[in-house]
Structure 1
Amino acid sequence: MAQVATEGVVFPTASDGSRSTTRTGAEILAAALRPLDPDQADAALRENHWRRTYPTYFRTLVQGALPSAELVLASARAGLDAAWSSMRWEQERQQMSLHNGLATHTPHFQTLSLRGKGDAAVTPWTVPLDGEQLSGERLRMKIADWLARGIIEPSAASALERCLAHPEWFDLSDRTMVLLGAGSEAGPLRWLTRWRANVVAVDINRPEVWQRIADIALAGNGTLQIPLRNGNGVVSTDDWMARAGANLITEAPGIAAWITGFSGPLDVASLAYLDGERHVRVAMGMDMVVQAACVANPHTTLAFLATPTDMFAVARETAQAAMDAYKERPLTSRTLQSSLHLATGDRFFQPNIEEFVRGPNGVQYGVADSMVIEQGPNYALAKRLQQWRALIARAAGHRVSLNVAPSTTTVSVTKNPLLAAGFAGASSFGLEVFEPETTNALMAALWVHDLRSDQSAANPARPLAHPLELFMDNACHGGLWRSAYLPRSALPMAAALGWVRKRFTA
């Protein structure tokens, strides 16, 4: 039973004064499961090994939602409502609902604007890879290679091709783009500030963070809007870093009031990440801000970066590719893996996708389970909260970009030794792990595509056979969805290979 911090967005307090992240997470997921499978919802509440078994319930959440669009939206609303009801807002030792917390008066932020001093022309979109800046025909060839190897989905390849065909899309001088977690290593800040965007930046109040953000912005040609605290009414560029920043966990209502003060529709990206239970808290803090932005303006657009190590519905063609990959393994691999199966009780090298699930109007899907147990149920819940918000907002008419990003060697991921080693050995299983600068370039372009192209699933006017197709569109999963093996059943072997490679290449 975790003891967690008690300010801003907090987990609820039990009768003994403790705060159980496990119990709260199970209750939220059970609420989302109830419209789909009441028995599984009850089982989630009784589960005694939540930290080990949670993927089972996330699978039901996805698979049970596929039969109808109404089911998935009912589940999303129930899950998000439960999160808003369960989590609390604590201020000066007083607890209240998040709704009441959002209405509270909090410190007023002033705004400092920094204009970029770089070349005024929009920087052409390129993709850094292996020491090169890919553009034009070289980039087209690489997109085709990723597609052929199953690293990205066909819709992602088409979207990136459209970006190449429409360089005018990248002039973002008409957009006000809010980055919640502006300094995120996987975020688009560096590109947006080269594409003339008006960037409203939210990040933690640490001078070193704002020094890096400011350096990026000043080298570009956009405008950076910075929240300042504890002011005397005078906004100055002198020593502003000591006052810069806003905390998404403890100051979400103030951040919401600040960003909704900017004119015009906002494009709001939820990018912040924290370890453990703080990830759920910061996800809810961002959701408070997102909720306020959507209420303030019906033309608000939303953006999220989805992790590939999650549970997703996938297209039939994608599922078939995974099934075929398992069937077509070389004979030597089959023999060795069969022996390992027997020795370990089927723990290793399980098939990735084994069956199709029938959706509306006879459309078939698969379920890709790429969850990594070591990332934990709080991580899974935090990412699911964003998916629920995306589904609800799109159904309400908001444009929503939620694209699956590839596994990326960010500090937040590679500090986990097992994941770092697994990444190093991933290529042995046909997977590709990206450097942060490559991921940044791809995902920034896909966000622009989702804002500009009416062909994107982000566009609420585009009909989808099922709402979960929003997450299939533009997916750059690094090969996880089309792999022969359930990723976590191959991770130990990938990690072993990675450790060997690191040892002999160091």
Structure 2
Amino acid sequence: MSNAPEGLQFPLDPASQRASTSRTGKQILSEALALVDNKLSQQVLKEKNWRKRYPIYFKALVHHGILYQDNPVKIASQGLHKAHQLFEFYRDHQRFSLKDFMRVPHIQNLHSVVVQGQSQQAPEWFVPYQGQKLNGQALLDQIARWEQQGIIESSHAEALRAVQSHPEWFDLSDSTMVLFGAGSEAGPLTWLSKWKANIVAVDLPNEKVWSRILNTIQHGNAKLIAPCQEAIVEDTPLDVLSSKLGANLLTQTPEIAAWLAQMPERLNLAAIAYLDGEKHVRVAMAMDAIMQYVSEQKPNTSLMFMCTPTDVYAVPKQVVDHCKQKSRERSTIEKLLAKGVSSLSIRHFLKPHSRQLIHSNNGKDYAIADCLVIEQGPNYALAKRIQQWRAITAREHGQHVCINIAPSTTTHSVTKNPLLKAAFNGAHLFNVEAFEPETTNALMAAMWIHDLRNPKALANPSNQLDHPLELIMQGANHGGMWNAAYLVRSALPFAAIYGLVADKLPRNKK
């Protein structure tokens, strides 16, 4: 059996002839910083403890991005250019730079299979939350509570109220929605299938995954367009289709790009695929390469991304003001306890979240919300940064870009990490809320529709941004992390301990 690499891969280290994710990550961040801080750019390359110290450099990207309006585009363009130069694509024992992925040999045509949902139900939207289906006034009341508690930003609340008052926006019979990672647990497939959308679903050739996707489509009112390696006769039974559909983003990158580019409809591309570890960076790069190619062939293409709250962001001054107010409201006992724990741990635990204002050359003040979690690792941070960079550059070039921060969600991919699962169980200690997948799905699917339908949305390139980073600030549902009194990673151990204990208590047993 051949062990030759296939598809999209990290580059080999010339010295060891092995792929090094740390070396690649440092090279990309170094290049991203090169035009805004050359000294720090060189320091990144020399960093010996990348896995522990990477937050320093990701925070620096945001700090420099805030200072000057043109810096975010410089940083994003440099970072993406370097990434596309470094990553490699293998086919037939030949190696290519990712930037040349459409020149690889033997690009096969993918066939399209169409499946129509059987439901005649009109589009509807509600939010599943704690065993209830919230709509109407009950939904508006919950949105207000989340906003008042600092779980969501006011711009997120306003967007949800807008879609709630415009039910006609949910009829997507005029829209073609492309889902990379269509079967994703936190993705919008279930809702799109109820909104008459034309859904182009890309996911691995996996019978279990496609059985679930086809079942979802069959019970909805939408139309599915799926890739297949062979021509399939019409009316093929669904149980047969489930074993034949699918395409691999990592190994069939050029095939998927060519298949999408030849579609006559305007496409709305959503980068929601997730894989563990270093594969997450690779699939992020695969989606990025496809998005770039399709956008070049079809300039009216729109892009969609969902950011993680456990990242580092520029935030508006209002967040700082809100945090100061929340801090004043803390009890004396809580303040003394936190100070004592911080001192005893030599400031490793319950470290205060810095709220220093940074003045931008646009005349406005911003701050940094550093919510990175060390345990998720530099590969996760890099994968999500690549998506932010694509969003910033695409918006700069006039594309419609929907990018929203989604809350921490108790998906299987997250809760299989025992530490994170326990931390989510204890997150409410720090006024942070982790959402169930069905709640996140409903909220973030609605945000996508808002950004596409509302002409006033910042996703629309016709609307001017005061700063490129405001594209990402707008509409954030961070679950309360931006307003946390402590650095998330310094509070994580206490939330986890509480979560573990709470999980063992008899009242939590069913």
- TM > 0.5 fold call: yes
Instruction: Kindly report which structure 2 residues correspond to 1:9-158, keeping only aligned pairs within 5 A, or say none.
Output: 9-15=8-14, 16-104=16-104, 105-122=106-123, 124-158=124-158
Counterpart of 1:284 in structure 2 is 285
Post-superposition offset of 1:36: 1.8
Counterpart Cα distance in 2 of 1:324 and 1:139: 26
> Can you list the C-alpha shifts for 1:132-190, whole angstroms capped at 9, x where unaligned?
11111110001100000001001011111110111100000000110000001000000
Counterpart of 1:178 in structure 2 is 178
Distance 1:343 1:233, change over 3 A: closer
Distance 1:86 1:235, change over 3 A: farther
| Aligned 8 A contact 2:432 2:480 in 1 | yes
| 3-state SS of paired residue (2:362) | helix
Counterpart Cα distance in 2 of 1:342 and 1:465: 40
Does 1:377 find its partner at 2:371? no
Counterpart of 1:440 in structure 2 is 441
| Aligned 8 A contact 1:360 1:466 in 2 | no
| Aligned 8 A contact 2:369 2:482 in 1 | yes
Instruction: Kindly report which structure 2 residues correspond to 1:479-498, keeping only aligned pairs within 5 A, or say none.
Output: 479-498=480-499
| Aligned 8 A contact 1:319 1:353 in 2 | no
Post-superposition offset of 1:234: 4.6
Counterpart of 1:224 in structure 2 is 224
> Can you list the C-alpha shifts for 1:44-71, whole angstroms capped at 9, x where unaligned?
1000000000000000000111122211
| 3-state SS of paired residue (1:461) | coil
Counterpart Cα distance in 1 of 2:101 and 2:130: 47
- Gaps in structure 1 of 5+ consecutive residues: none
| 3-state SS of paired residue (1:308) | coil
Counterpart Cα distance in 1 of 2:118 and 2:139: 29
Counterpart Cα distance in 1 of 2:294 and 2:236: 28
Counterpart Cα distance in 2 of 1:59 and 1:216: 40
Post-superposition offset of 1:233: 6.7
| Aligned 8 A contact 1:110 1:235 in 2 | no
Aligned length, in residue pairs = 501
Distance 1:249 1:306, change over 3 A: same
| Aligned 8 A contact 1:183 1:209 in 2 | yes
Post-superposition offset of 1:197: 0.3
Counterpart of 1:211 in structure 2 is 211
| Aligned 8 A contact 2:177 2:270 in 1 | yes
Aligned-residue sequence identity (percent) comes to 46
The amino acid of 2:5's aligned partner reads: T
Counterpart of 1:450 in structure 2 is 451
Does 1:325 find its partner at 2:311? no
Q: Which moved more, 1:346-355 or 1:155-164?
A: 346-355
Counterpart Cα distance in 1 of 2:320 and 2:246: 44
Counterpart Cα distance in 1 of 2:147 and 2:215: 35
| Aligned 8 A contact 1:12 1:86 in 2 | yes
Counterpart Cα distance in 2 of 1:21 and 1:314: 29
> Can you list the C-alpha shifts for 1:74-107, whole angstroms capped at 9, x where unaligned?
1100000010001111112211111221233422
| 3-state SS of paired residue (2:118) | coil
Structure 1: which 4+ aligned runs deviate by more than 6 Å?
none
Post-superposition offset of 1:320: 2.3
Post-superposition offset of 1:198: 0.2
| Aligned 8 A contact 2:86 2:98 in 1 | no
| Aligned 8 A contact 1:127 1:134 in 2 | yes
| Aligned 8 A contact 1:8 1:89 in 2 | yes
Post-superposition offset of 1:7: 1.6
Post-superposition offset of 1:220: 0.4
> Can you list the C-alpha shifts for 1:270-303, whole angstroms capped at 9, x where unaligned?
0000011000000011011101111111110000
- Gaps in structure 2 of 5+ consecutive residues: none
| Aligned 8 A contact 2:68 2:362 in 1 | no
The amino acid of 1:11's aligned partner reads: F
> Can you list the C-alpha shifts for 1:406-450, whole angstroms capped at 9, x where unaligned?
010000111111110000000111111100000000000000000
Distance 1:232 1:449, change over 3 A: closer
Q: Which moved more, 1:35-44 or 1:445-454?
A: 35-44
Counterpart of 1:167 in structure 2 is 167
Counterpart of 2:308 in structure 1 is 307
Counterpart Cα distance in 2 of 1:282 and 1:271: 10
| Aligned 8 A contact 1:112 1:237 in 2 | no
Post-superposition offset of 1:386: 0.3
Post-superposition offset of 1:500: 0.8
Distance 1:201 1:446, change over 3 A: same
Counterpart Cα distance in 2 of 1:128 and 1:236: 34
Counterpart Cα distance in 1 of 2:108 and 2:243: 16
Instruction: Kindly report which structure 2 residues correspond to 1:460-471, keeping only aligned pairs within 5 A, or say none.
Output: 460-471=461-472
| Aligned 8 A contact 1:323 1:352 in 2 | no
| Aligned 8 A contact 1:326 1:351 in 2 | no
Counterpart Cα distance in 2 of 1:151 and 1:362: 28
Does 1:8 find its partner at 2:10? no
Counterpart of 1:362 in structure 2 is 363
Post-superposition offset of 1:354: 2.6
Counterpart of 1:196 in structure 2 is 196
> Can you list the C-alpha shifts for 1:229-258, whole angstroms capped at 9, x where unaligned?
1x2575662422222111111111100111
Q: Which moved more, 1:147-156 or 1:15-24?
A: 15-24
Counterpart of 2:399 in structure 1 is 398
| 3-state SS of paired residue (2:113) | strand
Counterpart Cα distance in 2 of 1:218 and 1:440: 19
| 3-state SS of paired residue (2:179) | strand
Counterpart of 2:342 in structure 1 is 341
